[in-house]
Structures are given as C-alpha cells and as structure tokens.
Amino acid sequence: MTAFFDRLADRIAEIDSIVSVGLDPDEERLPAAVRDADLPRWEFNRRIVDATHEHAAVFKPNAAFYEDSDGWRALEKTVEYAREKGVPVLLDAKRADIGNTSRQYAEVLNSVDAITLNPFLGRDSLAPFLDRETAGCFLLCRTSNPGGADVQELELADGDLVYERVADLASEWSADGNRNVGLVVGATTPDELRTVRERVPDLPFLVPGVGAQGGDAEAAATYATATNGAGLVNSTRGIIFAGEDSDQSYADAAGDAAKDLKERLNQYR
Ligand SMILES: O=C(O)c1cc(=O)[nH]c(=O)n1[C@@H]1O[C@H](COP(=O)(O)O)[C@@H](O)[C@H]1O
C-alpha cells in the first residue's frame, strides 16, 4: 500500500478538498430520527458519511465518543463504511504509552489509515506507530484548547518553546524514518500556526478548531498544507450538528456545511 500522505495528497487533489469531517456522535445531541436504531451512533454516522463523503478528504472519528461496547461496534462499522466509500479514516485517539502498551495500541493501524498521537512520552512511545510505513501519524504540537499554552508554550533553555521543539523533533523523526509524521496545530492560535508552518514546511498539519471553537479558517487553510500536498482542516460539530435548529434534515445540513467549508477553505489555499 502507498504511504498515507501520498494517498491523502491524491485524494485532496481528486476532490479539491482539505476538509476533515469529524465524527463525534455525542449521544445527547443525536437527532430523534436515529435514536431508536439498534446502534444510534452508527446510524447517525452512516447518514453523515453518505451526505459528506464527496467533500471529505478524511473522516476523523474521535475515540472518546465510542468507548463502550455499543460504541466500539458503531466505530467498527463506521470505519468500514467510510473506507468502502474510498475515504481514509484518521482515528483521533491521542495515543502513546510505554513500549509494550504502545505496541498494542498501534495494532489499531491495521484497521484505520492514520492516528493522532501524544508526543509527551517521547520517541520510543511513538515508535510502534511511526514504524508503520503506510500509516499517517499526527503528533499533538499546539492544541486548540484554552489551556494549550500551559505546557506547550513553556520556554526551553535555548529560548525555543515546547511546541516549537515538538515540531523540530517530529520533522527529524519523520525524515529519519518513513516520512509519515504530521502535526496537530489548532486554528485558534493563527500566529503559532504560521510559526510552525515556517519551521517545518514538509510536515502535513491537521488543523482543528474551525467552526464550533471559532478558530481562524483563513489561517487554517493557508498553513495546513505541506510541500508534499497533504494537510487537513477539521470541523466536527460545525458539520455533523449543522442541522440542529434548522428546517433541513441533519444529513442534508451536514452535506451543505461540509461543502461550504470546502469552498471557504479553497479561497485561501
Ligand atoms: O487531535 C485533535 O483532533 C484535536 C486537537 C486539538 O488541538 N483540538 C481539537 O479540537 N481536536 C479534536 O478535533 C475535534 C474538534 O471538534 P469541533 O470543535 O466540534 O470541530 C474534536 O474531536 C477534538 O478532540
């Protein structure tokens, strides 16, 4: 199989979209139309995938929304269905642990195309993922949440900030290995996003934070893409729950929201 970032660059070129459609089916927000289904989260996702797949460079389910027995079944069906539609799946799991545990975690890459990882435990904790030549590995670098600066913007002895060092290390690990490492950099901090892009032009970014978190879509689209043509801007609630308080069906609203975001981002890239 071809390397993930090559496949991603091809898909982005083919559908002219860098949109990552997040699949976080919060049970409290599921519409009445799916609540009586055997697996409501799967039923919801199936219709969202049908409505948005032509605009989705990837689907990004966040594992947090599936961590119970019905959830695991719903996730498995969702992943299979998305891939049947030809859309790669980026599992947002923010994994990494000591060696034998990480080796176990990395087995999930037999079922999905790419994953998000937490670099806090260092290179050996990431190795079981990075060693997979055909997988995409996005390391948290500068996250979109309000406390993202607490640790990530601490200053190191040489004046660099922690998130800048993470970007440098990721670049090194990618170049020394399978060139399969990207970074997660939020759209809520556009200056930092630009800083990281200038620092590591070769690493694809996953940029979350547009839509519900109010991040900067122009900066996201401007800086997401690496020299190899791969890069993603994610929106989750802004797409999958676009139909709340609207006259449209939730699937139609999601389809329109994904298309609108695609077109908006395309103005800037
Ligand atoms: O790794 C991520 O995807 C991620 C990193 C980050 O810094 N901020 C962030 O929001 N995310 C994820 O991206 C999604 C954002 O969802 P919305 O805010 O609804 O678009 C959630 O699944 C978050 O967990």
pLDDT tens digit sequence for 92-145: 999 999 999 999 999 999 999 999 999 999 999 999 999 999 999 999 999 999
* pTM attached to this predicted model: 0.98
Residue 204 in contact with residue 252, Cβ under 8 Å?
Answer: no
pLDDT surpasses 90 at 1: no
- Which CATH number belongs to the domain containing residue 40 in this structure? 3.20.20.70
Active-site annotation, residues? 94
Tokens 């908006």 sit on residue: 264
How many separate domains does the chain show?
1
pLDDT for the residue 249: 93
Nearest residue (CA) to ligand 1, atom 13: 208
Residue 127 burial (10 A CB sphere; 0-12, 13-18, 19+): middle
pLDDT-derived band at 227 (thresholds 50, 70, 90) equals very high
3-state secondary structure of 115: strand
pLDDT-derived band at 247 (thresholds 50, 70, 90) equals confident
pLDDT-derived band at 173 (thresholds 50, 70, 90) equals very high
**Could you say which DSSP state residue 64 is in?**
G
pLDDT for the residue 246: 87
Assess whether the C-beta atom of 208 lies below 6 angstroms from ligand 1: yes
Question: Cα of 208 to ligand 1 centre, how many Å?
Answer: 5
pLDDT-derived band at 183 (thresholds 50, 70, 90) equals very high
Residue 256 in contact with residue 52, Cβ under 8 Å?
Answer: no
Domain span holding position 122? 4-266
- What average pLDDT does the chain have? 98
Tokens 């032509």 sit on residue: 54
pLDDT surpasses 90 at 89: yes
Assess whether the C-beta atom of 256 lies below 6 angstroms from ligand 1: no
Residue 106: C-alpha distances to residues 28, 79, 126, 150 (Å) = 30, 16, 9, 28
Average pLDDT over residues 5-24: 98
From 52, 59, 62, the mutation candidate for ligand 1 (largest count of ligand atoms within 8 A of CB) is 62
34: amino acid identity, one letter: V
Residue 107 burial (10 A CB sphere; 0-12, 13-18, 19+): exposed
Q: Which residue has the higher pLDDT, 246 or 24?
A: 24
Share of the chain above pLDDT 90, in %: 99
Distance CA 117, CA 135 (A): 12
Phi, psi of 46 (to 5 degrees): -55, -45
Locate all alpha helices (DSSP H) within 132-161, ordered by sequence.
Answer: 148-152
From 21, 52, 120, 144, the mutation candidate for ligand 1 (largest count of ligand atoms within 8 A of CB) is 144
Assess whether the C-beta atom of 78 lies below 6 angstroms from ligand 1: no
Average pLDDT over residues 231-242: 98
Give the tokens for residue 155.
């200053």
